[in-house]
Amino acid sequence: MPAQPLVLVLTPVGRDARIAESILANSQIATRTCATLEETLPLLDEAQCLVVAEEALTSADRSGLAAWLENQPAWSDFPIVLLVMRGTEFDKRLAFLDRYLIVLERPFLASSLSNSVRSALRARARQLEVKSYIEQTRVVADRQKLLIRELHHRVKNTLANVRAMMGATARSSGTIEDFMTDFSARLVSLADTHSMLTDDYWQTASLKKLLAGELSHYETRDTPRIALDGPDVALVADIAIPVGMAFHELASNSSKFGSLSLPKGRLDVSWSVGSDGDARIVNLDWRERDGPLVEPPKRRGFGTTLLEKVVTVQCDAKVALNYHREGLHFNMALPLRDTRLVPAYS
């Protein structure tokens, strides 16, 4: 349950403090009585209203209270119920309180005090709602700034990746048709990863979804031949994009030359999360079997370069490609980054 609004009572002369406490207690309003203004000042930040007798201020050093009121944020007008003697002139030394005041003449009815304090608490509650709205707006604005910076960064990297893909695809393509087919497939894979990142509030992509998205095209309904096994792992954008591209190249290569090129071929992909000192590491194992006999490639294609250079540099990963005769074996030790793009919801 939310804390009950606290009302400070500073009426050090006579029975005023006990009377004010009793009246407010009967109205279920929590109070704390202070003996001096010096005692009151440190409590103002947690309170929502101050009931104070005029003489408690005129007989004390008011500079601390004046400074505290002057330094309130723009959303705040801290309410003060000032108890004055009936028929007396307002003391001009208290003019600095003017914008915050509810003046109540003594002697007063119990209902007058409780109604004045309730009015002050309602006003303070509205101010706190404004504060909450301002803070939420600031969080949204900060998130938008982060997203714009991330967008600039990602667009720059994406254009660099597209340029590299275009050049590598052109070099490895024998015909225009081959170039269009391979280049289009790589662009679609890149776009799918970007969509996954954009749809997620935290701007992360699921490792399993990246794999499933690339491999679902090659799965068969009657006899499943692709097995994915591992925990839920979220990858931040700077890791997800090159890793997603790497999965695309592995899947495409397997469908052309590896186990997924034959109906009886099988692919097992498993991963686990371990640690290396303070770093969390994903250890991923890609094993192909029951496909054609494997021959090491005679030249380095875009996929090999991507796996051995781009993923290694951009993701700080350790990778190993082993062209076993019975099937390709790829292993990757990928450090995880915990940095999220946007702040958590409060």
* Banded model confidence at residue 5, pLDDT cuts 50, 70, 90: confident
Measured distance CA(18)–CA(35) in Å, rounded = 12
* Burial annotation 13-45 (CB, 10 A radius, 16+ → b, else e): eeebbebbbebbeeeebebebbeebeebeeebe
pLDDT tops 90 at residue 182: no
Measured distance CA(11)–CA(20) in Å, rounded = 9
Positive or negative, the CA dihedral 173, 176, 180, 181 is: negative
* Banded model confidence at residue 340, pLDDT cuts 50, 70, 90: low
Q: Which of 142-146, 296-300, 336-340 has the lowest mean pLDDT?
A: 336-340
Please state the rounded mean pLDDT for residues 305-329.
90
* 116 vs 301: which has the higher pLDDT: 116
Q: How many residues does the chain have?
A: 346
Percent of the chain with pLDDT over 70: 95
Residue 90 confidence (pLDDT): 86
230 and 271 Cβ atoms separated by less than 8 Å: yes
The superfamily in CATH containing domain 173-335 is Histidine kinase-like ATPase, C-terminal domain (3.30.565.10)
Report pLDDT digits (tens) over 61-81.
999 999 999 999 999 999 999
Residue range(s) in the chain whose domain bears CATH number 3.40.50.2300: 6-133
Residue 264 confidence (pLDDT): 92
Residue 283 confidence (pLDDT): 97
26 token code pair? 């009967």
Please state the rounded mean pLDDT for residues 235-240.
89
pLDDT tops 70 at residue 202: no
* Burial annotation 97-135 (CB, 10 A radius, 16+ → b, else e): beebebebebeeeeeebbebbeebbebbeebeeeeeeee
Cα–Cα distances in angstroms (integers) from residue 14 to residues 7, 77, 163, 168, 269, in the given order:
19, 29, 84, 90, 82
Residue range(s) in the chain whose domain bears CATH number 3.30.565.10: 173-335
Q: What is the CA radius of gyration of the chain?
A: 35
Residue 10 confidence (pLDDT): 93
294 and 258 Cβ atoms separated by less than 8 Å: yes
* 126 vs 154: which has the higher pLDDT: 126
Report pLDDT digits (tens) over 49-62.
999 999 999 989 99
Half-sphere exposure of 344 (CA within 13 A, CB side): 2
Please state the rounded mean pLDDT for residues 142-164.
80
DSSP of 95-162: GGGGGGEEEEEES--HHHHHHHHHHHHHHHHHHHHHHHHHHHHHHHHHHHHHHHHHHHHHHHHHHHHH
Among residues 126, 4, 23, the alpha carbon closest in space to that of 81 is found at 23
Q: Give the list of residues 6+ apart from residue 306 with CB closer than 8 angstroms, or none.
A: 242, 245, 246, 249
Residue 2 confidence (pLDDT): 43
pLDDT tops 90 at residue 327: yes
Report pLDDT digits (tens) over 19-36.
898 999 999 999 999 999
**142 φ/ψ angles, rounded to the nearest 5 degrees:** -65, -40
Q: Give the list of residues 6+ apart from residue 223 with CB closer than 8 angstroms, or none.
A: none
Please state the rounded mean pLDDT for residues 318-327.
94
Quick one: fold of 6-133? Rossmann fold (3.40.50)
Place of tokens 């109205």: 27
Q: Would you put residue 109 in left (φ > 0), alpha (ψ -120 to 50) or beta?
A: beta
